[in-house]
Amino acid sequence: MNPEFILQLWAQIIWPLLRIMLFISVGLVVANFIEALNWTNRMAVLARPLIRLGRLSAVTGASFSMAFFSGVAANTMLAEAFDTGKIDKKELVLANLFNSLPRFFLHLPTVFFLTAPFIHGAAFIYVGITFTAAMLQTLGVVLVGRVLLVGDSGEIVMQQKDKVSLKQAGARAVRRLQKRIPKILKFLIPVYIIFFILGHYGIFPKIESLMARSLLLSWLDPQALSIVLLHVTAEFSAGLAAASVLLANNSLGYREVVLALLVGNIISAPVRAMRHQLPYYMGIFKPKLAMELVGVSQVTRALSIMVVGFFYYSFF
């Protein structure tokens, strides 16, 4: 067998599966111990004002805190709460959107220190706009929760009747793992194989390129289109390299570069979410629910960036 093909199998199927199973297992164990030790409300303290305002539950707040360290573990906590009836579907969707802010901070160092050497001061503007969009989405979730959800914040809903021991919590975590893992693998393995085949034959770059070329981008500077195309057909760093060259020879200013990167972000994010996010969501949630969560998340994220980006385009 071709060694290069074996390396692709390891990098795109075997290793991601092992990593996701590890994080899901850790998430389940953490969720059970948090519940056993009655730490849900303590973990939710970070977001308590927003939770109370949005009528969200304490488990959503605990997931919010967990998302600063691991998105998979945070989603596993939400899946456990949804499966056991502690939160309903409306709150599950809102909680997944609510976690966009800690996810932003989780990736912030990588994004900033990648962009700054290439586009210098424009990096602050780009990161600032994406941060504002994440904040806007969070505030939107709070307002929607205030309207759609009923009752008070989740301290009452999440109140535990009987505190269990660490041994009991560990045994419960093992039982839930044994029950959940076969269901996870049932969907996770086929999905990863399908996405591996699609990636192997270059389907995703073709989709991204088609989206970039078919959208109406006449308002964007023609030279900035190269940044967009490289961003969506190659990778983020390729778009940054093009932006760096265009800035250096004064072909584009900060404003044009930032707008091009935002457009590339909006276009490329759905395809990359389908490729990287959807498979592990299907390992945590049921397939239909996973697609709904990813779809709502991507639409909301794109709209938030478009709103902030339009403000920047109009007034700066």
Secondary structure of 271-284 as H, E, C letters: HHHHHHHHHHHHHH
What is the domain range of residue 193? 3-315
Instruction: Please give the pLDDT value at position 225.
Output: 79
Structure tokens at 24: 């899901």
Instruction: Please give the pLDDT value at position 160.
Output: 46
Angle between helices 287-315 and 100-119 (to 10 degrees): 50
Q: How many domains does the chain have?
A: 1
Structure tokens at 93: 């969707």
Instruction: Please give the pLDDT value at position 311.
Output: 94
Reading the chain (316 residues) residue by residue, the pLDDT tens digits are: 677 777 877 777 788 778 777 877 777 777 667 666 666 666 667 688 899 999 999 889 989 988 888 888 889 889 989 988 989 999 999 999 999 999 898 888 888 988 999 999 999 999 999 999 999 999 999 999 999 988 544 444 444 445 666 777 777 777 777 777 777 777 777 877 777 777 777 776 677 666 666 665 666 777 787 788 777 766 778 788 888 988 988 888 999 999 999 998 888 888 888 877 888 888 889 889 999 999 999 999 999 999 999 999 998 8
Instruction: Please give the pLDDT value at position 159.
Output: 46
Instruction: Please give the pLDDT value at position 211.
Output: 62
φ/ψ region of 252 (left if φ > 0, alpha if ψ in -120 to 50, else beta) reads: beta
Q: First vs last Cα of the chain: how many Å apart?
A: 56
Instruction: Please give the pLDDT value at position 15.
Output: 82
Cα–Cα distances in angstroms (integers) from residue 122 to residues 11, 33, 62, 249, in the given order: 33, 44, 34, 15
Instruction: Please give the pLDDT value at position 144.
Output: 96
Give the residue among 187, 183, 178, 185 at the shortest CA–CA distance from 32.
178
Instruction: Please give the pLDDT value at position 157.
Output: 43
Instruction: Please give the pLDDT value at position 153.
Output: 46
Cα–Cα distances in angstroms (integers) from residue 150 to residues 54, 55, 206, 253, in the given order: 10, 7, 45, 49
Structure tokens at 101: 């802010």
Give the residue among 95, 43, 32, 39 at the shortest CA–CA distance from 69.
43
CA dihedral 22, 26, 28, 29 (to 10 degrees): 140
User: Residue type at 269?
Assistant: A
With 0-12 / 13-18 / 19 or more C-beta atoms within 10 angstroms meaning exposed / middle / buried, residue 304 is buried
Instruction: Please give the pLDDT value at position 130.
Output: 95
CA dihedral 163, 168, 172, 178 (to 10 degrees): 170
- Tokens 């498979």 map to which residue? 279
pTM: 0.79
